[in-house]
């Protein structure tokens, strides 16, 4: 068989030729013929189970699923014949009959794929009987991050494929059969009690409102309107390159300045930046790495674990707690930027501003659903209070902007407030896979050698890109006196995004098949820009555009190295003394716990 052999076929009497192995759906896309789909998702393997995309193949006894059926030479396809329309209408009606369609109250109202199909295929009275009753009472509210509502589930299994293919977690799987078939955790335990990492990738891919984040919008409004409270808000790096999508912009638009203005208009008392604490993370984590290297290379300390992995991604943390508990000593003890910020908001910030930390409400806006869980971890109260009170996703934030009647497009740009509003380009790139690694190297290399990293414009391109697992090494040369032990050392790094890739790396490391010094892991595909709290839909093109925007943002900033952030320098001078100081350890570092296997 020749490679790239072209197959000729006709769809709705239009000729098209596509490479062998293409599906009818792909061939139709080439002709700009729209075939509706539901279980199909660009990021996932083909399922062919919803049957919304059935089309007529001339000469065939039955209709075929366009998403699953490979093209054959001479094939003639009709995508809109009467037979197709009737079947498709039936399929949509059947799905609606098992779906609790309280659309006006639904979190996914107007961004629901089933609703869109219903608008096209099912008007007026429903043909079939309502089957929802049997699934009522099946809403799992127990988690602080993810709500699973089986009464809205249409069993397309996108979530199941996401959880297994992209994340290798399989906290949810298909259970039962026939009418009892549904999506279950292990023996239907609450989602908060199983291996779910709260990454929210299933939420991003659920076509309906069956999987959503738990929303805290009203709690935040209450805090804002409580005059006693001083409400600070922090925004994660990845939010500024995706928020626009929920407000009518194309993917990849940077809306940082408008976003800050919007937050001020919403009534937050101080609009600050997680990027500030991302810079801080680099200082702490970079120092931790160098210390570990010294302990291993010089002191030959057997108790110090290498490679060290990053700890910014709470989905990744929960993953390793469940799956590789023996490797927890390898995880950096640094809290994530969100939590470092929360910690400082109720200590350093309160002190500087003369505020009673009890009256500070700390809100974070994150591209992430796992951050909701992280903020609720009992360890995250080193300030003496809950360090971060409420975590909102990018999506919830967009809803607040709409609720407030803000015309986002016409907003002027404005700057973050201070304290804890300054940041560097190194912090912004935390939002993209490879970003933490790049930021860490920019700083660590300079600490060790006194020189900037040997890359054009500080852009460490080998750690960038969408490859699932990236490896890069950097020879350290010209070390300063105190770092002489690193002279000539080849610093070996790996970067993984998506937990399936993380699993590959950790599997190799745990079996001794890979020797790295430092590993960056992000739970979500593409890193935080592809986080579970980001605007829906997602696919690789959208994620790439967000990443491009992240690097543009980096290039646009005057300071691009964490250790040059003036507010960071001031923080160490005034409060923390130096990286990894006793105080820093008390406030900014944490520990992890082994968790259940189911």
Partner 1 sequence: MYQTNNLVKDLVKKYGRRRDSLMPILQGIVEKHNFLTDDAMVEVATELDISAAEVYGTASFYSFLDTEPRGKYVIRVCKTITCSMKGKHEIIEALEDMLKIKVGETTSNGMFTLLETNCMGWCHKAPAMLINDTPYTELTRGKIIKVIKEYMEK
Partner 2 sequence: MMKTKKISKVDLIFEHIDPREILIKVHGMSSEEIIEEILESGLKGRGGAGFPTGMKWKFCSEEKEKTKYIVCNADEGEPGTFKDREILDRVAYKVYAGMAIAGKAVGAKTGIIYLRGEYKFLLPQLRMELDSFHKLLKETGYDFEIDFRLGSGAYICGEESALFESIEGKRGEPRNKPPYPTTAGLFGKPTTINNVETLVNSVIIMKYGSDRYKQMGTRYSTGAKVFSVSGDTPIPGIYELELGMSLFEFVKEFGDGDTKTVQVGGAAGFCVPRKLFANTVIGFEGVPTGGSMKLFNSSRSMYNVLHNYLEFFTEESCGQCTPCRVGCQQLLKGIESVKKGESQSTYLNELIKLADTMKIASKCGLGQSVGNAFKSIVENFREEIIY
What is the binding site for partner 1 (CB under 8 A)? 164, 169-177, 184-187, 194-195, 597-598
Nearer to partner 1, 174 or 296 (CB): 174
DSSP letters spanning 77-134: EESS-HHHHHHHHHHHHHHHHTS---GGG-TTTTS-HHHHHHHHH--SS-SSPP-GGG
The residue from 253, 374, 438, 553 that is catalytic is 374
State the binding partner of 598 from partner 1, partner 2, none, CB within 5 to 8 A by kind.
Answer: partner 1
Residue with tokens 């302990």: 295
Least Cβ distance, residue 202 to partner 1 (angstroms)? 12
Q: Is 586 a catalytic residue?
A: no
Question: In degrees to the nearest 10, what's the CA dihedral of 91, 94, 98, 102?
Answer: 80
Whole-number Å distance between alpha carbons of 582 and 573: 14
The residue from 148, 152, 323, 371 that is catalytic is 371
One character per residue 457-486, x = contact with partner 2 (rule: CB under 8 A)? ------------------------------
The residue from 379, 467, 482, 552 that is catalytic is 379
Whole-number Å distance between alpha carbons of 359 and 371: 22
Q: Is 438 a catalytic residue?
A: no
Whole-number Å distance between alpha carbons of 252 and 162: 23
Q: Is 312 a catalytic residue?
A: yes
Largest CA distance in the chain: 80
Q: Is 277 a catalytic residue?
A: no
Q: Which of 34, 83, 326, 475 binds partner 2 (CB under 8 A)?
A: 83
Residue with tokens 């988690």: 143
Q: Is 153 a catalytic residue?
A: no
Nearer to partner 2, 46 or 559 (CB): 46
State the binding partner of 171 from partner 2, partner 1, none, CB within 5 to 8 A by kind.
Answer: partner 1
Least Cβ distance, residue 173 to partner 1 (angstroms)? 4
Nearer to partner 2, 68 or 103 (CB): 68
Q: Which of 48, 267, 329, 462 binds partner 2 (CB under 8 A)?
A: 48
Q: Is 154 in the site for partner 2 (CB under 8 A)?
A: yes
Q: Is 298 in the site for partner 2 (CB under 8 A)?
A: no
Give the neighbor-by-neighbor strand order of the sheet with 360-366.
Answer: 270-273, 230-235, 360-366, 390-393
Q: Which of 8, 14, 26, 49 binds partner 2 (CB under 8 A)?
A: 49
| 298 and 304 Cβ atoms separated by less than 8 Å | no
Nearer to partner 1, 142 or 174 (CB): 174
Give the containing element (helix H, strand E) for 365: strand 360-366
DSSP letters spanning 469-511: EEEEEEE--S--GGGGGGTT-EEEEEEEESHHHHHHHHHHHHT
Query: Which residues does 354 contact at the CB level (< 8 Å), separation at least 6?
Result: none
Q: Is 210 in the site for partner 2 (CB under 8 A)?
A: no
Whole-number Å distance between alpha carbons of 58 and 76: 6
Q: Is 332 a catalytic residue?
A: yes
Q: What residues from 61 to 80 belong to the interface with partner 2 (CB under 8 A)?
A: 61-63, 65, 68-70
Q: Which residues are catalytic?
A: 285, 288, 312, 332, 371, 374, 379, 528
């Amino acid at each position: 068989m020749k490679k790239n052999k072209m197959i000729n076929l006709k769809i709705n009497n239009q000729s098209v030729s596509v490479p062998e192995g293409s599906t009818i759906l792909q061939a139709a896309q080439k002709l700009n013929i729209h075939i509706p789909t539901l279980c199909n998702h660009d990021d996932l393997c083909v399922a062919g189970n919803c049957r919304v995309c059935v089309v007529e193949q001339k000469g065939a006894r039955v209709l075929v699923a366009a998403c699953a059926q490979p093209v054959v030479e001479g094939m003639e396809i009709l995508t809109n014949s009467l037979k197709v329309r009737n079947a498709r209408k039936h399929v949509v009606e059947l799905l609606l009959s098992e779906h609790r369609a309280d659309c006006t109250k639904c979190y996914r109202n107007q961004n629901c794929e089933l609703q869109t199909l219903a608008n096209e295929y099912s008007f007026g009275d429903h043909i079939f009987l309502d089957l929802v009753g049997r699934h009522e009472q099946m809403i799992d509210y127990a988690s602080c991050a993810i709500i699973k509502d089986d009464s809205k589930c249409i069993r397309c299994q996108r979530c199941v494929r996401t959880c297994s293919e992209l994340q290798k977690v399989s906290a949810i799987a298909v259970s039962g059969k026939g009418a009892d078939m549904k999506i279950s955790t292990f023996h239907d335990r609450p989602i908060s009690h199983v291996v779910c990492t709260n990454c929210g990738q299933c939420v991003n891919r659920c076509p309906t409102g069956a999987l959503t984040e738990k929303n805290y919008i009203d709690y935040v409004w209450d805090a804002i309107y409580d005059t006693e409270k001083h409400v600070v808000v922090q925004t994660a790096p990845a939010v500024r390159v995706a928020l626009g999508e929920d407000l009518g912009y194309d993917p990849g638009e940077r809306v940082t300045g408008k976003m800050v203005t919007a937050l001020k208009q919403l009534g937050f008392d101080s609009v600050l930046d997680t990027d500030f604490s991302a810079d801080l993370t680099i200082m702490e984590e970079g120092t931790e790495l160098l210390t570990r290297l010294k302990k291993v290379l010089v002191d030959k300390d057997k108790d110090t674990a290498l490679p060290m992995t990053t700890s910014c991604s709470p989905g990744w943390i929960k993953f390793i707690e469940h799956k590789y508990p023996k490797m927890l000593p390898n995880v950096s003890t640094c809290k994530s930027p969100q939590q470092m910020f929360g910690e400082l908001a109720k200590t350093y910030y309160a002190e500087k501003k003369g505020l009673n930390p009890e009256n500070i409400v700390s809100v974070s806006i994150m591209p992430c659903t796992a951050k909701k869980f992280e903020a609720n971890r009992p360890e995250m109260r080193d300030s003496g209070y809950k360090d971060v009170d409420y975590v909102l996703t990018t999506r919830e934030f967009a809803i607040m902007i709409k609720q407030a009647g803000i015309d986002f497009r016409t907003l002027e740009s404005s700057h973050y407030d201070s304290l804890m509003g300054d940041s560097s380009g190194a912090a912004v790139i935390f939002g993209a896979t490879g970003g933490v690694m790049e930021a860490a190297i920019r700083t660590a290399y300079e600490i060790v050698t006194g020189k900037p990293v040997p890359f054009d414009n500080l852009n460490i391109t080998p750690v960038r890109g969408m490859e699932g697992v990236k490896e890069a090494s950097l020879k350290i040369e010209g070390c300063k006196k105190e770092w002489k032990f690193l002279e000539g050392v080849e610093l070996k790094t790996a970067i993984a995004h998506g937990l399936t890739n993380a699993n590959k790396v950790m599997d190799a490391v745990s079996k001794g098949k890979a020797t790295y010094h430092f590993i960056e892991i992000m739970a979500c595909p593409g890193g935080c820009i592809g986080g579970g709290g980001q605007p829906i839909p997602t696919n690789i093109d959208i994620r790439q555009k967000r990443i491009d925007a992240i690097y543009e943002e980096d290039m646009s900033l005057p300071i691009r190295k964490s250790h040059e952030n003036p507010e960071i320098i001031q923080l160490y001078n005034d409060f923390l003394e130096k990286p990894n100081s006793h105080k820093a350890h008390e406030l900014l570092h944490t520990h992890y716990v082994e968790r259940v296997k189911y």
